[in-house]
A and B are shown apart, each in its own frame.
Chain A
């Protein structure tokens, strides 16, 4: 008798139905799952880069390939420009969290301000990326193109290290991976602009919540996250 009455009792655990077990809104879960799949795509690209680098006896030295600050120094300043780019992206990630935080308080004006700051950061990063690409392109690197063997000596640690295959793999993978990342930044900026317009129009005010800002925020942080890895594997290692 006792057992039956226990069975009759309504279960209230998180997975017993009638409630959302993760208590996360549908759109946010879908954004997380999209980002997971996107993380797999980026991982595949970076792992292929790693495997290529592992298989080659030599590889272009990042300190020699990336050593200019546009408009300031043509040589001798390794990592400085990419450092600025990294700072811009981390900074725009912070302004995005601040927009999300303002959204929780439903402070429309603050959300607008932080969203504008985030969009400016995104454009600044894209501008830097364009300069970086142009610079490398002028050096002679592009998909399927590398400088002559003589010129390549400047990009390897020792002149006898020069490997045409390694230089070509480096060029292809650099433009593919930073290009794919840059495309994500560009989409992020476009989505941020759409959300900014919706905020200005008061769409979220009427909805009563700023969950859309959070979802876009997740995407934007992911873009920042990918850059952290691209930065390490292309510029530091």
Chain B
């Protein structure tokens, strides 16, 4: 048993070598850059009419998912974990996608219903 724990720790150690201080600051820069882009869209592009709110919303969601990827992959270290753990944690979100689709269909139906009354 003690030997078993030992190997786990050793494994952990090898993999963690991946994230150096330089890499951490690089990811921070990327996160900051994405946030700045979101601000430029919200404060310049949409008010000046270069982009409609509708198109902007899709871009916001895309950029948010990109930020989420960087936080989970690098800060939470998931990129350096075994494939099994990565799959267990990400594939579960298929239920959330399903739920989003269900609830937006429901919301859209109510919206049409309200407009007709």
A contacts, CB < 8 Å to B: 14, 18-25, 29, 32, 36, 39-40, 43-44, 47-48, 50-57, 63, 78-79, 83, 86-87, 90-91, 93-94, 96-98, 101, 104, 209, 211, 214, 217-218, 221-222, 224-225, 228-229, 231-232, 236-237
The interface residues of chain A lying within 8 Å CB-to-CB of B28 are 90-91, 94
Q: Kindly state the interface size class of chain B when it binds its partner.
A: 35 or more
Interface SS of A by simple majority: helix
- Contact A57 to B115, CB < 8 A, known contacts A21-B82, A90-B31: yes
Q: How far is the CB of A216 from chain B (nearest CB, A)?
A: 12
CB closest chain-B residue, reference A55:
B110
- Residue from the set A54, A57, A236, A237 with the largest chain B CB neighbour count within 10 Å: A236
Q: Which residues in chain B, 26-72, are within 8 Å of chain A measured between CB atoms? A: 28, 31-32, 35, 38-39, 42-43, 56-57, 60-61, 63-64, 67-68, 71-72
Tell me whether B68 and A229 are in contact (CB under 8 A).
Answer: yes
Residues of B with Cβ closer than 8 Å to A?
4, 7-9, 11-13, 15-17, 19-21, 24-25, 28, 31-32, 35, 38-39, 42-43, 56-57, 60-61, 63-64, 67-68, 71-72, 74-77, 81-82, 84-85, 89, 92-93, 95-96, 99-100, 103-104, 106-111, 114-115
Contact in complex: B84, A22 (CB < 8 Å): yes
Assess whether A25 is in contact with B81, with CB atoms less than 8 Å apart: no
A57 to B115, CA, bound (A): 8
Q: Using CB atoms, name the residue of chain B closest to A209.
A: B9
CB atoms of A224 and B71 under 8 A apart: yes
Return 13 A-B CB contacts under 8 Å, by A number: A14-B84, A20-B7, A20-B8, A23-B11, A24-B12, A32-B85, A43-B96, A51-B107, A78-B43, A96-B75, A221-B71, A228-B71, A237-B60
* Contact status B12-A23, CB under 8 Å: yes
Instruction: List residues of chain A with CB within 8 A of the CB of B35.
Output: 83, 86-87, 90
